[in-house]
Structure 1
Amino acid sequence: MMASHWSLSWRNRPAEEAALLNPAFCGELIARATKDYERIRAAAFPLPLSFVVLPLVLHPPTLAILPGRANTTFATWSADNEAILTELPDRTLRLRPISREALLFMTQHRALTVGADGLKLGEKPLRLTVKAAATTPDVDDIRRAASLIGRWFANQGAPVQILQTMGVTP
C-alpha cells in the first residue's frame, strides 16, 4: 500500500511545501485569526472557521482579492468574487489535513486551546506582535491577511452563514 502524501515526513516533502505548509507557520496564521476574532467579538473563534483561514490566505489569487478592511460587507465581497470562491470548498478539503496538523501543533504547545465554543489563545500564546527576524513581503502579507480574516469574521453573522456564503459545507 502506498503512503499518503500527508503521511510523508517533513524532510521528504518538497522544500517549498515544507516551508509554507509547516505546522508552526500554519498554526501561527490560525492563531492570528483567533486572536483578532477574540479581541473584536470577545468570544472564541469558531472551530469550523479555522479550516478556511489557510485556504483564504495561502492561495495567492484569493489573498490578492481579500478586502483591505474588516468592515467590508461579506456577502457583497463574496458575490463580487464568486468566480474565485468556487474553488474554495475544494481547497478547504485539500488543506484540511494541514489545518488539523497546525491546530494539533498549537494545542500541544499550549498556544491555542480548543473548547466546546471554539478556539482561544492558550496559556502560552505566540507573541504575534513581534516581527520575525527573517521574513519576506509575501509572508508579511499572509500574516496580515490572517489577522484581517479574524477581524472580518468577527464582524459577520453566524459561522454557518459565513461558510455557506463561501460555498463551504460546515
Structure 2
Amino acid sequence: MTSAVSWSREERALFNPAFTGLVCARVVQGHAVKHTPACPLPIVVTAAVMAFQPAVRELLPGSTAASMTKWAEDNEAVKVHMAANVPGLTDVVRPGLLFALQTGVLTLESSALSLTGRSIPASITGSSPETVAIQKAAHMLGRWLPTAGTTATALTLLGVRP
C-alpha cells in the first residue's frame, strides 16, 4: 500500500486512526454480542481489514447464521482480495488499534481486546454511506468470524496465515 503522504484526501479521511480505531471497536462490540466480551486480537485485525474492502463487504452473508466454511468455499475471491490487501490494510488498522488502546476505548489482556467504560455508542452512524457500511460490516464480522471455530480455523478459511 502507498504511504499516507500519497493518499487522496478521501483515503486520508477514511484511514485516519480515529476512524480505524472505531472500526476495531465495532468488531469487539459485535463479538461481545454473541461471544465472550474479549475478542482475540487476530479476529479484530482480520475483521477490520475485511470491513475496509468494498469487494469483500459485497460478498458477506446477510446473516451470522451462515456457515463460514460454506461461505468461504463459495466465495474464493475473498482469499484473493485478502492476499492482495492484508499487508497494506494491516498497516492502516494498526495505528487505529493503537489509538483505541491509548484513548481507553479498548483494553488488551492476554491477546484479547475488550471495550472499556469509554465505550462507543450502540447505534452505528456516520457522515457517509461508506463509513456506515464499514462499521456495520465490522460489527457483523465480530459476531460471525468466531463461529468458524478456533481463531486459526477462521483465518485459514480466509487464506490468512494464523
TM-score above 0.5: yes
Aligned: 1:141 with 2:129: no
Which of the residues 156, 164, 167 maps onto 2:159?
167
1:40/1:154 contact within 8 Å kept: no
Query: One-letter code of the match for 2:94?
Result: R
2:27/2:142 contact within 8 Å kept: yes
Q: Provide closer, same or farther for how the CA distance between residues 37 and 126 of structure 1 changes in structure 2, counting only shifts above 3 A.
A: same
Q: Provide closer, same or farther for how the CA distance between residues 125 and 161 of structure 1 changes in structure 2, counting only shifts above 3 A.
A: same
Any unmatched runs of 5+ in structure 2? Answer: none
1:33/1:146 contact within 8 Å kept: yes
Give the match for residue 149 of structure 2.
157
Q: How far apart are 1:137 and its partner, in Å?
A: 2.2
Map residues 16-55 of structure 1 onto 2, 5 A cutoff: 16-55=10-49
CA distance in 1, matches of 2:99, 2:120: 12
Map residues 1-170 of structure 1 onto 2, 5 A cutoff: 5-6=3-4, 8=5, 13-129=7-123, 131-132=125-126, 135-170=127-162
When the two chains are superposed, the root-mean-square deviation of aligned CA atoms in Å is: 1.8
Percent of pairs with identical residues:
29
TM-score, normalization: structure 2?
A: 0.90
Which deviations, in whole Å up to 9, do the C-alpha atoms of 1:102-159 show, x marking residues without a partner?
A: 1110011100011114110023112242634xx2222222221111101112333000
Q: Provide closer, same or farther for how the CA distance between residues 130 and 73 of structure 1 changes in structure 2, counting only shifts above 3 A.
A: closer
**Count of aligned residue pairs for this structure pair:** 161
2:28/2:113 contact within 8 Å kept: yes
Q: How far apart are 1:62 and its partner, in Å?
A: 0.9
2:56/2:81 contact within 8 Å kept: no
Q: How far apart are 1:13 and its partner, in Å?
A: 4.2
Query: One-letter code of the match for 1:106?
Result: A
CA distance in 1, matches of 2:140, 2:90: 21
Segments of 4+ moved more than 6 angstroms: none
2:82/2:160 contact within 8 Å kept: yes
Any unmatched runs of 5+ in structure 1? Answer: none
Larger radius of gyration: 1
